[in-house]
Structure 1
Amino acid sequence: MQFNIKFRPLQLADAHFINNLRRLENMEKLIGGSIRPVSLERDQKWVEDLIMKDDQSTVYYAITELENEEIIGYTSVSNIDYRNGTCFWSGIKLDQTKAGKGYGKQTALKLMQFVFDEMRMVRLAAECQENHSIALNMMLNVGYQKEGLMRKRLFKNGKSNNQWLLSVTDEDYVEIKKRNGL
């Protein structure tokens, strides 16, 4: 697969981009976490903490196009358990002007490469709201498998929502790698 994106470490200046994404209510309604106003200063502190802390259980990356270093999104892996070889894809947030260009799929596959080839994990889990068909279809398309529907897992938009639990194992990744030329 030819990637049109790359990952780079977060930079302090990325806080402006991240803060602007948080203001997109239509996006926030479809992902985990609370919908709440967050000041630019808070996001600056959050990004600074991510950069400066030596947290071995979470990795964040800025997503950029190959030609430049300007952030177009970010993604992360959390709950990294080196003893058991498991982790959780915390998701992806992309600039809405980049939607439909395959960047979500590329991010998912590039992240899998990192998780399985570099971190030597054996299982990568993810979750997605039952009604977020775009995210669900993308995850299924790249090789995630549904493990089950978690009922009333996330309170969002004034109600309890169901979420899909999905995963990729190291055995699944062997096939995903072949199928996508990774």
Structure 2
Amino acid sequence: MENKVYLRAFEHSDISFLNTIRNNDTLYQTTTGNKYYISSEHDKKWIEDKIFNNYNQLYLVICSSESQQPLGYVCANNIDYINRKAEWGGLIVTNELNSKGIGTDAGYLLLDHLFGELGMNMVYAYVNENNKASYRLSEKYGFKKDGLIRNFVYKQNRFHNVYVFSILKSEYVNNKTLYVE
């Protein structure tokens, strides 16, 4: 199977693209992250951090294999090399690419890297209870729903519950085989 996308490290030249995505109100309605107004100057420092402080966090631009243009980004946070686990930090693609398989492919590439190259044994994720797309995507990757955390995030003038999902390397390898075939 040929990938429609590839992942690469953040570059300073990504500032405008990433700032546009990070200021998209629609994206924050269903995530566990809070909405902030982010200036391009703020994003310059944010991107610097992602470029130079990537030991416990991994932020990667999703690019089209055909055009090399950026399509979004994917990330992992709280990478713990001793306990060999990482938090799925998120997957964001531009609005026009939702439901086109781009995010699914990018997520598989990130999980391949976390399990294969970084030696993680477990990846866990927090999914907003109302985010049906992320819920379905987590299950597609083979994540298991471990539980519900009540009132975990305060946004949009109320508290939101989140599900905790996790996947072990052995489960991922078995599930990915089913996805590819």
Once the two structures are TM-superposed, the CA of residue 46 in structure 1 deviates from its matched residue by 1.0
Once the two structures are TM-superposed, the CA of residue 55 in structure 1 deviates from its matched residue by 3.5
User: Which residue of the partner structure matches residue 66 of structure 2?
Assistant: 67
Once the two structures are superposed, the pairs formed by residues 86-165 of structure 1 within 5 Å of their partners are 86-165=85-164
- Equivalent pairs counted in the alignment come to 181
Distance in 1 (alpha carbons) for counterparts of 2:99 and 2:177: 24
1:41 aligns with 2:41: yes
**Sequence identity of aligned pairs in percent?**
27
Amino acid at match of 2:26: N
Gapped regions of structure 1 (runs ≥ 5): none
Gapped regions of structure 2 (runs ≥ 5): none
For 2:47, what is the secondary structure of its paired residue?
helix
Distance in 2 (alpha carbons) for counterparts of 1:68 and 1:130: 35
Distance in 1 (alpha carbons) for counterparts of 2:75 and 2:8: 12
User: Which residue of the partner structure matches residue 7 of structure 1?
Assistant: 7
CA contact (8 A) 1:108 1:139 kept: no
CA contact (8 A) 2:141 2:176 kept: no
Amino acid at match of 1:30: T
Deviation string, structure 1 residues 57-83 (Cα, Å, up to 9, x no partner): 011100001023321101111111111
CA contact (8 A) 1:5 1:63 kept: yes
For 1:35, what is the secondary structure of its paired residue?
coil
CA contact (8 A) 1:19 1:40 kept: yes
Once the two structures are TM-superposed, the CA of residue 112 in structure 1 deviates from its matched residue by 1.1
For 1:172, what is the secondary structure of its paired residue?
helix
CA contact (8 A) 2:32 2:162 kept: no
Structure 1 moving runs of 4+ over 2 Å: none
